[in-house]
Amino acid sequence: MSTMTRNFLLFLLVIASAGLLNAQGGAYGTILGTVTDNSGAVVTKAAVDVTNVNTNVTKHTETSSSGDFTVPYLSPGTYRVTVQSQGFQKSVVDKIVLVVGQE
């Protein structure tokens, strides 16, 4: 086998291995919840910001018609969840520690 062919096959092996290793990287968690008012009624279309306190990266979503929200694919770490809706006070929950696979 020539040196060029052997190097090409080695290159293909490295590329294929990198793809397999990347596929194993499901090291994420999810923050989810339901936003309700003081009477227990759901709050629809409330703005929800989930911020990683270590990186200051924020993901934004809003609640559904049932008051639910889901923010998937979050790296493990400590988070702050801020919820705002017109006519309501802003609500902040700090120090949510998220680990791999946690919801």
- Written as tens digits, the pLDDT of the chain (103 aa) is 556 556 555 555 555 555 544 444 568 999 999 999 999 999 999 999 999 999 999 999 999 999 999 999 999 999 999 999 999 999 999 999 999 988 8
Are the CB atoms for 96 and 81 separated by under 8 Å?
yes
Domain count, the chain: 1
Domain range spanning residue 94?
A: 27-98
Judge whether 17 lies within some domain.
no
pLDDT digits (tens, 9 = 90+) for 61-83: 999 999 999 999 999 999 999 99
Judge whether 46 lies within some domain.
yes
* d(C-alpha 41, C-alpha 45), whole Å: 13
